[in-house]
Structure 1
Amino acid sequence: MTPEELRTIELNRLRAKARQKQREHVESSSERNANQKRPLEVTPATSNSPTRPEASKPLKRDSRLGSYFEYDLSKMVNSKGGFLVEDGKEVDEDMRAKERQRERERAMQNVEPPIYLDPTLNAKCRECQNVDIDYTFRKVFGCLVCNTCKEKYPEKYSLLTKTECKEDYLLTDAELRDRELLPHLLKANPHKSTFANMMLFLRLQVEDFAWKKWGSPEALDAEWERRVEEKKKKKSKKFEESLRDLRRRTREGIWQRRKNQEHKHVFGTAHRTEDGHDRQVCHECGFTVRTDQAEHSKISTSLEVEQIDNNLFRSVSLFVPMRSKGVFGGQVISQAIVSATQCVDPAFGLHCYFLLSASPAVPIIYYVERLREGRSYSTRGVKAVQSGKAIFMLLCSFHAPEPWQPSYQWPMPDAPKLEDCELEEDLFRRRAMQSGIDKRLKEIYLTYATERANGPIAVRRVSWNVKESNDTVASTYWMQARTGRSEPYEVPYQKCILAYMSDLNFDNFRCEDGLLYVVSCPLAGDGRGVVHGRLYSRSGTFVAVTCQEGVVRADRRGPEPQAKL
């Protein structure tokens, strides 16, 4: 399209737009709506009609803003005094004059002095007489030296830090801060911008002052060595004091812990003394105890316990059988049953299990727990504690007698009377007196004989290791308690005596009258053996059944392990 055509189109568009706007204005002001009413816009603002358009009211000031002042920022000027002032409030002219004077002085300080045409008026280097001297050295240190000589003689004109002056020349902070005595150059710290400025000193001036202070370089070296040696001594002394304090606190801590805790004996291996007895000695306190304590001849002494508190008892004596590592287990069980019996009604019976050996060095404490209180049964738990460790647990069920219930028992085997059987101590003595017997075996027989003769239980052997019909090996004994009294003990105590011999008991009997003990071994192997026992009274009454599993090892060794190489 040509430019003339474009111009014609644009004029036509503008004319059409003007006609459309005029038509809309006429329609809005002249034509009525469906209710024969004209729109509000046609009411002029000068009309008195309530529908006339009104000007918008100004916004009210918020009361929460408080009092404030309005400033015309367009009329503000910067006076460089930190405040904005209006026109007509100019700063003091004297202040401006003083500031201009300070700027001129600063500019004059930073300007190097001029070089005069007359050579006699110019300052010269003290080394090479050159007029091109370092202005900073001249201004700060008052030293006339050129840049060439500074680099040529670093032993004179190099700069030293404050730390180097204190360590190498033994100068103090007061001397280094005195500008008249030792002028210094301030320089920004290169390590961190927030650190204090570095103080740099001229080596020549520092050495001159140090020689005057100490007298000579040799005297300075001697003083430096003396201080280094003194510093080493102080450091060594401090270390020794801290070490002594550590040792003292360690000793006090160990002593306090030992004082607070209960002492527990730590016994070594048993060794035989000159009197022929085996003894053990505590490593810490030197307490000595016999490990081969003799068995008491009275059963009441072996079963005796001391009541410490309610439901709390302690053993009085402990017996270690010959060639045994610990206390006789039957004594531990019997003392536990005595402790439990003292916590129940004597009308009840007794039932107990299990036994465990203990060390004779320390008394055994028996804790009795009342588990159940019934009309027919009462249950007690007994825990034997030695050196803070539980070495024996017993569960006793006390049963009141019920004679009206039906009963049954195995028949008593045929056995000779108690008086017709030989005591074990007599048997061992007779064997020890045989001709040609080994000396060591003879000593063992005599020891067993003495132990049995002094023990509270008299043992008479009826048969020894006899095979029964079911191929089990059985041994039969008569066992009689040595009470040392004519009248018998009461029934509960008789059961405690039987516990000294066995493990489980019931019914009424008299241990001092004698009991037939039939022992059989149905199984043995892998270093263990199971033993069953039956006890009968003289009248043939089945008194007790025993069952025990123990470690029984023969003197045989297994195959040697093969070497790995």
Structure 2
Amino acid sequence: MSADAVDDSPHDDSPDIQESEPKLTKAQLARIERNRQKALLLKQARLQSRPYPEGKPDKHKVKAPPREIDSGGGFYIEEDDEALQNVHKKIIHPEGAVLAVDNLVCDGCGKEFMESFLLNHFELAVCDICRQNEEKYGLITKSDAKKRFLLKDCDFDQREPALKFIIRKNPHNERWGDMKLYLETQITDRAMEVWGDEEKLEEQHEKRDQNREKSKQKKFDKRVKELRMAVRSSLWRKDSGSHEHDFGEETYDEDEDMYSKTCKSCGHVMTYEKM
């Protein structure tokens, strides 16, 4: 190839142009920094309002108070979301053990029963049907029991075991205080413990009746003596108006249990008793 040959390859006679990023001014850089700081502040504010990411519970969130529901039994219960979820679930309880209950046997009719008036108050195994026999299972007041069975207060409370009783209002007058009612069968048993048998109890009744009669007779004799002394003293004062007696020494009659004095002048005898 000769030197005059034409070179078909393109030639760029202009100088090389180097691509370079445009430079930012100071105002632009300051605006960018302000926007960045503003974005950081907004991010921090969002984090403070929602410290936890989505899906996690917020422990600091205030829970609304539970709603009260009428239970239908006279009181209110608080509504619980977790409890409401289990309302319709079927609760299965394990079967309990079967307890065998031994019924008591009535001493009167021999039938079984579970509870009764005499059992609860007097610890006597008698059903309520047999209790209707008042002659056998009647009640008696403490004063009547002391009079009929000659018992003392210590026989009711201090002698073991102490007798059971119930308290009732006095039917005659409420101001007289409450009455203690005892079971007559238990009073009879206690009287047999004290006296031994019915014969000794009757002997005690007779003995007390005799002592009571003697006491009455003694009081009567004393009253008669007082009247006799009053009459004799009045007669003696009546006779002393016309004559003044001069009595001698005093004499005593053991058979009559009387004392006497004789006037020395007229022979008048004055008899009297010393109380």
TM-score (norm 1): 0.24
More strand by share: 1
TM-score (norm 2): 0.47
